[in-house]
């Protein structure tokens, strides 16, 4: 019922509500990743990493990168064959450090969707 009301309010084709960040990451990351390529920031929250492990268990390739080395992510994204699903996962705000990710600059080499960590700002697109 609430999902239907939210869908109508947003004018979206559909919505999904989950009660915790852990369930969101375990559910959404594997769906967005499909059997493509997942890039997870080395210090991402454990629940983000766990969602990436679920995606790997369902056939996705998993690679880690360091947010402070943007060229590293650019190189990893550039190495993925064109047309392959790609997903970049990181904390919007580091849960331990408080560092704010530069989300607009993160997928510089690719239009890969970005999923951010629990309770933090971010964007995801497909």
Domain ranges of the chain: 18-116
- Is the model's pLDDT at 52 over the cut of 70? yes
- Is the model's pLDDT at 43 over the cut of 80? yes
Q: What was the pLDDT predicted at 94?
A: 59
Question: What's the CA gap between 77 and 119, in Å, rounded?
Answer: 26
* Top-confidence residue, 124 or 20: 20
Q: What are the distances in angstroms from CA 122 to CA 35, 100, 125?
A: 23, 10, 10
Q: What whole-number percentage of the chain has pLDDT above 70?
A: 72
Q: What are the distances in angstroms from CA 100 to CA 25, 89, 97?
A: 19, 14, 9
Give the right CATH number for 18-116 from 3.40.190.10, 3.40.250.10, 3.40.50.150, 3.40.640.10.
3.40.640.10
């Amino acid at each position: 019922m609430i999902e239907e009301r939210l869908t109508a309010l947003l004018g979206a084709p559909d919505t999904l509500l989950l009660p915790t960040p852990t369930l969101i990451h375990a559910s959404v990351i594997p769906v967005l990743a499909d059997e493509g390529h997942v890039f997870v920031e080395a210090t991402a929250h454990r629940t983000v990493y766990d969602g990436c492990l679920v995606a790997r268990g369902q056939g996705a390739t998993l690679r880690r990168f360091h947010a402070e080395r943007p060229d590293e992510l650019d190189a990893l994204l550039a190495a993925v064959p064109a047309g392959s699903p790609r997903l970049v996962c990181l904390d919007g705000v580091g849960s331990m450090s408080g560092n704010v990710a530069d989300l607009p600059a993160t997928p510089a080499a690719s239009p890969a969707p970005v999923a951010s960590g629990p309770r933090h700002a971010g964007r995801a697109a497909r």
